[in-house]
Every structure is written in structure tokens, then in C-alpha cells.
Structure 1
Amino acid sequence: MTQNDAFTFGPAPVRPPYDPELVPGLAAIRAATPALSDDTLELVREITKAAVPGRDPIDLTAGGRVRVEELTITSAEAELPLVVLSPAEGQGPWPLIYYVHGGGMVAGGRHLGLDDLISHVADGSAVVVSIEYRLAPEHPDPAPITDCYDGLRWCAENARQLRIDPSHIIVTGTSAGGGLAAGVTLMARDSGFPAVSHQVLVCPMLDDRFETHSSRMLDDDGTWDRNGNLYGWTALLGDRRGTEDVSYYAAPARAKDLSGLPRTFIDVGSAEGFRDEVIVYAMGLSQAGVSVDLHMWGGGFHGFENIAPAAIAQSSFSTRTEFFRRALKR
């Protein structure tokens, strides 16, 4: 599979400038991460196995305040690894933060990005469960979204074991995980189980069609350009990508009915490819009567919140963290 076989792009439309504080970090990320292709896929997968790629391993126990359990659950189609982070003290029940990792649908693992959520467990506010879903292209749609929903359903059905409140579930994810989190929340609404109280979608991957300005504006530019995005969507959907034969669970931007979904936090950078689909999705949610917190960060590229010294990264992280804190208190 090659992206050029699936689609031919024209010239890239103009993009907004990057925040100057982010530019050195962007250069470092691009130098450390190869462009996604068949030849580099295994290397990208190796890089994204870590909780924070390129850095020393994080202490998931937060100095002993967090209990870490590695579990494997059995669904109808696969054995799915989960990592469960729960407060080391107290009996619960606690709200559940159900987390779906990123990786363009083709990479990543259950520990990727968990560092952003550990504080909510360490302070006794939540249990975090992160699922390791099967990856494309070996396991194309609907395997990833089905795995993620099966994991969420298992958590709700085993609430006593996890010491969680099954009526207080926050579904969250980043990038591809943000798209899968949105799809899982739609599945939960449509099936009537489990009850999802909030969704937190961080720069989510929502639309396979490449019809927006921003989806075409990055060519060998940024951290996740239109070529990598095409690779990920084609790996997931194959020849169905861009056709009418795509479920809105796989590509939530296709959903025509967004009513009945939970309160939503959604954010994106102004200089990343997912910008327009995020704005359109947030608008659709709001027009359907859903309470939406939408944040577009001027000058942000995909993953900019990981550039720790930059003021915009700190603002993004603190804004999202505060939303989690309020959501955990309802």
C-alpha cells in the first residue's frame, strides 16, 4: 500500500504561521520522526511505544500514589491489553477516564500519552483505563473502533472490579485516538450503553475525505502532513477511503446526527491539518444542542502541546486539565 496509489494532491493551500516559540521544537520532532510510509512503519511503531517518545520512561505510579495494573480482556474477536491506573488509597467508586492513544491508526500503544492523565489519578479524582486496540493496515476498519468500544463496554460491565462509577465516564483520546474516542461515544449513544458523561477530543482525526482547506495545506510540513494523514486513512479504510462506504464510527465527521452526545471539549492548532474538520464537528455538536468547549490555538501544529517551554503549549495543557477537573466533579 502506498499513499500515491490512493490519491494525488495538487499544490498545498496556504497555512497560518507557526508560533515562533514552537519552531525549534518542531524542527526537533521532524528530525527524530521519519515520514510515515510502508518502509518506516515499523520504526514509527517502535518510537511510539513509549509514553513520551524520545524521553526517559515516566513513573506511572507517581511515586507510589497510583496503582498500575496491566490486564488483558477477551472480546469476540481479539485479546486486548489494558493498563489501569487507580488511586493507591481509597475505595472509590471513582469516575472513569477511558483513554484512546494516538498514532495515525497505524502506530502507538496503551502507554502513549498517559503522562497527561496521571495527575488526576494521583490526586484521588479518577481511574484511568487505556486500551491497546489493533492497528491498521493489518487490522483495518472496523477492528480499531470495535476494539475501543469493546474495551469501554468491558469497563462499564466490570465497574465493581475497577472501583468506578459507571454513570460517570469521560471518553478521551488524542489525534487518531481522538477520532476513535468520538466514534466510541457515538457507538455508546446509539447502543444506549454505557452512559458517557463527557468527551475530550484532543486534535482528533475525524475525516477521511480531504475536502477541507486545512486537510491539504501541509505537504512535507509540520508533524503530521497530508501525506501521513492519507497513509493512515488508507491503511484503515483501503479503497473505501473517501467513498460513501465509510461508517461515521470510523470517520465521525460523516455523522449527520450529533444530538444526544455528552458535553464535549475539543481543541486543535490553527496550523494543523485537522483544524477545519474539528471546527466543523464542534459547530455540528453545538447546533445539535451539545455543550461544547472549542479551543483553536493560534500557531499550533499537530502535537504542539508537547513543546513544554512554549507559552501556548502550557496554556493548552492547563486549559484541558482544568476541564478534566471540572468534569470529574460534574
Structure 2
Amino acid sequence: MPHAFDPELAAALTMMEPTDLSDLAAARAAQKARLAAAVAAADTTGVTVTELPGPGVPLRLYRPAAAGSAPLPAVYRIHGGGFTMGHPDVDHEANLRLTRALPCAVVSPEYRLAPEHPYPAGLDDCYAGLCWLAEHAAELGVRPEALAVAGDSAGACLAAAVALLARDRGGPSLRLQYLDSPSLDDRLTTPSALRFIDTPIWNRPSALLSWDAYLGAGVPGSPDVPVTAAPGRATAAELAGLPPAHVTVMELDPLRDEGIDYARALLAAGVTTELHLYPGTFHGSALVRHSAVARRMAEEEVAVLGRALAW
């Protein structure tokens, strides 16, 4: 069906490849090739990038070179990819930009992917990486009292779940959870999840395959899926005591309404929450970096995280 896309985004659609999770091996191979080219072309000037062994899960640390060893706030940023794809390289350029702009340290975990490693493997990796970061803050030049967790799409689901685990397990204190186009609800029963079956980058068929891979075939939509797997299932009572949240949603995205619903549930739980919907956008619109709306998204991320992590 026709969609009222932002004109700049619509013009870029012919150059964007769809995500086809039905052939996961091919999708991963294509993404790997694209990422290799993008990483090779990325400008790392002014940023020191270090690969860390982490706690059994590799971590990538970005620091502004001019900061030396001075302790900095840190953003623990989890890449997206439908739980089945991706690598820290997905966010490499964005992490470089964020490191320079704030300035801050950015840490990205290379968590295990489904379906080879279904829930809770990826979440366990992400939480272990956050704890390791806090425990090694002094040697990494990070201020453990100034941490935020962030992610987009499936990465935002993992970020929201990490915030839940940190609260429940007495883990690192977080100043903010930044959830960009979050995938939060395996039931896929919202109006946007039912409507957007043909949207670019991400649509209902992709979401169905993604949740099947993460939870196991036949599990999504069943009654016993825990809130750490699908935070959109949480009641307001289950969300009380979480760190402040910033939720960003795209207008023409099957994930739109679950992000709005989650923001409303957080507010009902007494969690300070800001919600921003970008009109005319689809899932992954930030990839069209030259567009005005993508520039606004990037500027907002810097401003929101900057306020939360202010010295």
C-alpha cells in the first residue's frame, strides 16, 4: 500500500536493500560485506577504538583521543539486527560520531545471535558486558556513576531488558535508557504491527521471523514469555524503579505502537519518560544520513544523552 514517506527518505528507497530474514545466511553475508566497506571508509580521526576481551563477550570501546585517560561518562550502546544479525560494526560510524560529540566513552558488545543462541543468550551477554564495564571503570577511564544504556530495534529491546536486570539484580546504576525504534512485544497485535506488512527495512513478516528466532518457533505470543525477553509485556508495576527513558518511534513502522505503549507504561509506573515520534519515517530511516530528519535524530540523541550524562 502507498505510504506518506518523508520526500527525502522516499527518494533514497531505491538505493536501500530490504532485510530478508527468510534466508538468514545470505542476509548475514550481504550485511558483512556492506559493513566491511563502511568500516574501512569510516573516519576515526580523534577517536581511539579498542577491542576488549570483556567477560567472555567481546566489547569495543570508543574514547575521544584528546581526553587521554581522564574518566568520562559512558554510553553502553547495543546494536540492532532483529536478534539474528549484526555486530558492533553496525553502529561504528554512529559510535564515532557520538564519542566526538558528547564527548564520552561508548562501549558496544558483540553479543551472541539467534537462532543459534536464542533468549536469554544475547541478553546475558549484554548484561555481563555492562557489569564488566562498571567493574573495570577505573582502568577503562569511565565514570561508573555516569552510565547510560542505548540501543535501536532489537538492540533497544536488549537495552530495556538490561535496565530491568540492573534494577532487579542490584547491577550498575543507569542514568538513562535510550530506546530507538524498540522491538518490545512478541505478540505483534498492535495496530501498527498488523498494518505495516510491506514497509521498507522492517515489516510484519520480518518481525515474525525475528521473534521466532529469538524465542523459538511457536513461543512468540504464548502466555509465558518473560518481560526480560519482551519488555512490552510488562505491567506498570513491573516497570517501577527503572531509570529515566527516552523512546523514539518512526511513524510508518510496525514497531511504532509498542514503543508508544511502552513509554505510556513507563509513565504510569512513575518513570520519567520522553517520547518522540518522527513523521514520515520508516524503520531504519536514520540510515539516510543526508536527510533532514536523520540529522534531527542524530542531534536529538546527542542532546538527550548529553543532558543525562552531564558532568
TM-score class, shorter: over 0.9
Q: CA deviation at 1:177?
A: 0.3
- Judge conservation of contact 1:66–1:121 (CA < 8 Å) in 2: yes
**2:309 is equivalent to residue 322 of structure 1:** no
Q: Quick check: 92-101 or 122-131, which moved more?
A: 122-131
Partner AA of 1:264 in structure 2: A
Q: CA deviation at 1:203?
A: 0.5
Partner SS, residue 108 of structure 1: coil
Q: Deviations over 1:8-59 (max 9, x none)?
A: xxxxxx8852222211222321xx235221xx21222233347858746343
Q: For the structure 1 residues 52 and 329, does the alpha-carbon distance in structure 2 shift closer, same or farther, using more than 3 Å as the test?
A: farther
* Corresponding residue of 1:19: 6
* Corresponding residue of 1:171: 149
* Corresponding residue of 2:127: 149
Partner AA of 1:18 in structure 2: F
Q: CA deviation at 1:87?
A: 2.3
Q: Distance in 2 between matches of 1:69 and 1:50?
A: 22
Q: CA deviation at 1:121?
A: 2.4
**2:42 is equivalent to residue 59 of structure 1:** yes
- Judge conservation of contact 2:176–2:305 (CA < 8 Å) in 1: no
Q: For the structure 1 residues 18 and 98, does the alpha-carbon distance in structure 2 shift closer, same or farther, using more than 3 Å as the test?
A: same
Q: Distance in 2 between matches of 1:249 and 1:173?
A: 15
Q: How does 1:1-330 map to 2 (within 5 A)?
A: 17-29=4-16, 32-37=17-22, 40-49=23-32, 55=38, 57-59=40-42, 62-63=44-45, 65-74=46-55, 79-89=56-66, 90-122=68-100, 125-238=103-216, 239-256=218-235, 257-329=238-310
TM-score of the pair, normalised by structure 2: 0.92
Q: CA deviation at 1:201?
A: 0.7
Q: Distance in 2 between matches of 1:262 and 1:196?
A: 6
Partner AA of 1:182 in structure 2: A
- Judge conservation of contact 2:9–2:291 (CA < 8 Å) in 1: yes
Q: For the structure 1 residues 124 and 298, does the alpha-carbon distance in structure 2 shift closer, same or farther, using more than 3 Å as the test?
A: closer
TM-score of the pair, normalised by structure 1: 0.87
Partner AA of 1:36 in structure 2: L
Q: Deviations over 1:81-138 (max 9, x none)?
A: 1111122233221111101101000000012113223234235721111001100000
Q: Distance in 2 between matches of 1:82 and 1:138?
A: 20
Q: Deviations over 1:236-271 (max 9, x none)?
A: 111221112211111110112211111211101110
* Uncovered stretches (5+) of structure 1, i.e. residues with no partner: 1-13
Q: For the structure 1 residues 155 and 276, does the alpha-carbon distance in structure 2 shift closer, same or farther, using more than 3 Å as the test?
A: same
Q: For the structure 1 residues 190 and 16, does the alpha-carbon distance in structure 2 shift closer, same or farther, using more than 3 Å as the test?
A: farther
Q: Distance in 1 between matches of 2:98 and 2:8?
A: 28
- State the superposition RMSD in angstroms: 2.0
Partner AA of 1:136 in structure 2: A
- Judge conservation of contact 1:52–1:113 (CA < 8 Å) in 2: no
* Uncovered stretches (5+) of structure 2, i.e. residues with no partner: none
Higher normalized helix content (fraction of residues): 2
Percent identity (aligned):
39
- Judge conservation of contact 1:87–1:124 (CA < 8 Å) in 2: no
Partner AA of 1:112 in structure 2: V
